């Protein structure tokens, strides 16, 4: 089957139509809304590196979209569309059918369209998705706006995906395979948060990026980390390792004033949020347990380790 019929069969579905020109021409065309900036990001998933080889094709399709929507959400922006660059080692129709279904399921859930891409052959299965979104000019939440005394807040629960990876077959594998990009929360925070990041490489490392970019430090209360019951069975140190150094959660971590956090809660976001600490002047992260300093040795996910 030629490249064109793969595209036609699996990646050219009719979708919600605010795209001027989608799949089928040399490029896609979009009309940016007035007074908005384009928000754009890309993420590659390599088989065996970013997901276990036995991951279901449907989950791979979902996740390749979700991780990108998470980056758009982390700017406070609304996702609009994606491009898909797919390198396949072989043409497997069953795989393509399930993969494209997973991809469209995630797109449909978050109101995103597939507007183009590229399809090639290579020895390794590699999926690169580029996501596009819009945000009112000047409203994007970057990593560099954290202010001393802001609260540090994280959505959902953390450590689940790393635990799921270590215990394949456990119900928490769902959190590894089907991460939920926090699009609604991200967009709500556009007028409220002072800085934001999505947690892909472990909370400590990702929060560290906010602190570095903002030139501040943090105090984190270990008692407050949102950890699922399944992980609560483990020793304290093991729980904290999953929660602080485990990757792939795709939750949002943000800094916000107390007043703005109260406003956020009034908006009733569709995911829980937990205050885990506070921004401080002194650089680095100080961990506390029961009101006392509690030093920890941690490492996040290293892409080139
Ligand atoms: P070109 O040779 O001009 O780069 P292609 O033959 O690669 O064009 O692609 C033809 C059309 O199909 C383009 O509109 C492209 O965006 C789209 N396309 C190719 N691969 C995919 C894919 N995996 N998913 C969605 N659209 C795709
Ligand atoms: Mg091409």
25 C-beta closer than 6 A to ligand 1: yes
CA distance 107 to 275: 30
Ligand nearest to the CA of 86: 1
Q: What is the pLDDT of residue 304?
A: 60
| Residue 66 vs residues 41, 63, 129, 181, 274: alpha-carbon distances, Å | 12, 5, 10, 6, 22
11 C-beta closer than 6 A to ligand 1: yes
Residues 28, 53 contacting (CB under 8 angstroms):
no
CA distance 157 to 11: 33
Residue 300: pLDDT band (50, 70, 90) is low
86 C-beta closer than 6 A to ligand 1: yes
Report which DSSP code applies to 203: H
Residues 51, 92 contacting (CB under 8 angstroms):
no
CA angle, 179 as apex, 177 and 180 as ends, to 5°?
150
Q: What is the pLDDT of residue 255?
A: 99
Query: Any idea which residue has 């916000």 for tokens?
Result: 256
Say how many Å lie between the CA of residue 26 and the centre of ligand 1. Answer: 7
Say how many Å lie between the CA of residue 59 and the centre of ligand 2. Answer: 25
What are 39-66's pLDDT values in tens digits? 999 999 999 999 999 999 999 999 999 9
Asked if pLDDT for residue 301 goes beyond 80, the answer is no
SS3 of 305, please?
Answer: coil
Among left, alpha and beta (phi > 0; psi -120 to 50; other), residue 218 is beta
CA angle, 79 as apex, 73 and 82 as ends, to 5°?
120
Ligand nearest to the CA of 84: 1
Say how many Å lie between the CA of residue 88 and the centre of ligand 1. Answer: 14
Which residue has its alpha carbon closest to ligand 1 atom 24?
A: 117
Residue 299: pLDDT band (50, 70, 90) is low
Q: Which atom of ligand 1 is nearest to the CA of 23?
A: 14
Ligand nearest to the CA of 11: 1
CA distance 61 to 10: 12
Asked if pLDDT for residue 222 goes beyond 80, the answer is yes
Burial annotation 191-201 (CB, 10 A radius, 16+ → b, else e): ebbbbbbbbbb
CA distance 56 to 25: 31
Say how many Å lie between the CA of residue 119 and the centre of ligand 2. Answer: 7
Asked if pLDDT for residue 305 goes beyond 60, the answer is no
Q: What is the pTM of this model?
A: 0.95
CA distance 10 to 92: 12
Q: What is the pLDDT of residue 39?
A: 98
| Residue 223 vs residues 253, 274, 288: alpha-carbon distances, Å | 17, 11, 8
Q: Is the dihedral of CA 183, 155, 71, 38 positive or negative?
A: positive
CA 226 from centre of chain: 17
> What whole-number percentage of the chain has pLDDT above 90?
92
118 C-beta closer than 6 A to ligand 1: yes
Say how many Å lie between the CA of residue 44 and the centre of ligand 2. Answer: 17
């Amino acid at each position: 089957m030629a490249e064109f019929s793969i595209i036609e069969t699996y990646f050219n579905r009719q979708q919600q139509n605010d795209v001027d020109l989608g799949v089928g021409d040399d490029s896609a065309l979009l009309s940016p809304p007035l007074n908005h900036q384009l928000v754009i990001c890309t993420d590659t998933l390599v088989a065996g590196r970013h997901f276990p080889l036995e991951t279901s094709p449907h989950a791979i399709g979902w996740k390749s979209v979700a991780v990108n929507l998470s980056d758009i959400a982390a700017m406070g922006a609304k996702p609009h569309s994606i491009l898909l660059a797919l390198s396949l080692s072989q043409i497997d129709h069953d795989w393509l059918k399930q993969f494209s279904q997973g991809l469209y399921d995630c797109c449909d859930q978050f109101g995103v369209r597939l507007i183009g891409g590229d399809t090639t052959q290579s020895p390794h299965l590699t999926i690169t998705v580029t996501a596009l979104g819009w945000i009112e000019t000047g409203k994007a939440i970057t990593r560099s706006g954290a202010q001393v005394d802001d609260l540090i807040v994280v959505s959902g629960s953390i450590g689940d995906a790393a635990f799921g990876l270590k215990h394949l077959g456990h119900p928490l594998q769902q959190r590894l395979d089907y991460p939920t990009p926090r699009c609604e929360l991200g967009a709500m925070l556009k007028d409220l948060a002072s800085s934001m990041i999505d947690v892909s490489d472990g909370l400590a490392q990702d929060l560290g990026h906010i602190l570095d970019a903002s030139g501040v430090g943090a105090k984190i209360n270990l008692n407050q980390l949102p950890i699922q019951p399944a992980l609560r069975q483990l020793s304290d140190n093991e729980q904290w390792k999953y929660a602080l150094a485990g990757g792939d959660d795709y939750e949002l971590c943000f800094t916000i004033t107390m007043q703005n956090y109260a406003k956020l809660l009034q908006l009733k976001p569709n995911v829980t949020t937990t205050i885990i600490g506070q921004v401080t002047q002194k650089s680095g992260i100080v961990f506390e347990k029961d009101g006392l300093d509690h030093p920890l040795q941690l490492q996040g996910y290293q892409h080139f380790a």
